[in-house]
Amino acid sequence: MKIIRTILGDIPYNEIGITDSHDHLIRSGGPEIGLDKAFLMDDVNSAIEEFERYIAAGGKTMVCMDPIGCGRNVAKMIEVANACRGKGHIMMTTGFQKGNNYCPNTSFLATVDVNKIADLMIAEIVEGMDYHSYNGPVIERTTAKAGLIKAGTSYRLITNLEQKALKVAAITQKETGCAISMHTDFGTMALEIVGEIKKNGGLPEKTVLCHMQRNLDKYYYRQVLETGAIICFDEPNKPQYRPDAVIAETILWLVEQGYEKQIVLGMDGGRMEALAAYMEEKGKANGLEYLLTRFVPVLKEVGVKQSAIDNMLIYNPANVFAIEV
Ligand SMILES: [Zn+2]
């Protein structure tokens, strides 16, 4: 049977519904906060309100991509999921961000044997995520299981530490059947990432390459998609990088080239100003519902058919995130 592993339990894979394939609702700490306070999103009530806005816009499932060592907060996410029980599903991830979030000499990613780290990731998927997100020597498992695996790479570089995390991800995938969802930096190294995953026995068709809109090059996308991997476009509403229409027109081109089964969508809000509920004190902002209320209409406007939109929002996430149990 094929299932989707949500943090409140497994559901049949065809019940995933409209899915934001890369996002964030809670981030309680981690190195990114040091770069910018806007990365701190630690309020359960705001997260619930934000998830409810997304559900009200037609959303059903949100894939929350906070990995080990980057402020993942399993207990708070369980609170959010429970508040919306029966209305929406939340998936969470195990695994790692790009290498600069971990000490290359002293982090457990650096010092522990690759198979032992994979065992820790596998346990988060089959037993339950660690309450402490492996921040120390005490492991206390929650009831919430991870539903996918994360890894990350640097800008035009896959560091030695990142190659190790990719190997961990591939081993974990072989054991669990879970998808690997990748942080690509500015969309670079996608072909090399797929190469590393294949080399270690993982599957391109169960690999999602996120943030690819940062390298808006349709011929590069075609090369990547020919490997069988999935591309995630996860950044509408960031016109400082490019208008939504440019992403939408690129998606139309890919759909016309026959790749509509290999594209998924997300918002990757990731920062306080991208989540309307967190911004209420300051003013009125668009939240994660923007994907459905504003970006999908642009897709339609440029000529992407509803059947392709359904694939990108529902059926492709159902297939790539499904686990055989
Ligand atoms: Zn993200």
Write out pLDDT tens, residues 218-240: 999 999 999 999 999 999 999 99
Rounded to the nearest angstrom, the distance between the alpha carbon of 227 and the centre of ligand 1 is: 23
pLDDT of residue 314: 98
Q: How far is the CA of 130 from the centre of ligand 1 (A)?
A: 20
Residue 288 tokens read as 């994660």
SS3 153: coil
Q: Which domain holds residue 172?
A: 2-324
CA 64 / ligand 1 centre spacing (Å): 8
Return the pLDDT at 181. 98
Q: What is the pLDDT of residue 139?
A: 98
Question: CB–CB of 287/47 below 8 Å?
Answer: no
CA 134 to chain centre: 19
- The pair of three-digit structure tokens given for residue 195, joined into one six-digit string: 């190469």
Cα maximum dimension of the chain? 53
Span from the CA of 211 to the centroid of ligand 1 (angstroms): 8
CA distance 125 to 148: 8
Residue 238 sits at the vertex; the CA angle it makes with 233 and 244, to the nearest 5 degrees, is 60
CA distances from 323 to 88, 175, 178, 257, 297 (A): 19, 11, 6, 28, 31
Q: What residues are paired with 5 via a beta bridge? A: 10
Compute how many other C-beta atoms are within 10 angstroms of the C-beta atom of residue 264: 28
Write down the pLDDT at residue 122: 98
Distance, CA 66 to ligand 1 centroid (Å)? 7
Which residue has 């780290």 as its token pair?
A: 117
What distance in angstroms lies between residue 212's CA and the mean position of ligand 1's atoms?
Answer: 12
pLDDT score of 16: 98
* Ligand 1 midpoint to CA 34 (Å): 16
Question: Can you give the pLDDT at residue 200?
Answer: 98
Q: How far away, in angstroms, is 92 Cα from ligand 1 center?
A: 12
Give the pLDDT of residue 84.
Answer: 98
Overall number of domains in the chain: 1
Weakly modelled stretches of the chain, pLDDT under 50: none
Q: How far is the CA of 270 from the centre of ligand 1 (A)?
A: 6
How many angstroms separate the alpha carbon of residue 234 from the centre of ligand 1? 8
Q: How far apart are CA 292 and CA 55, in angstroms?
A: 10
Question: Cβ contacts of residue 37 below 8 Å, gap of 6+?
Answer: none
Give 253 Cα–ligand 1 centroid separation in angstroms.
Answer: 25
CATH number at residue 288: 3.20.20.140
Distance 67 CA to ligand 1 centre (A): 10
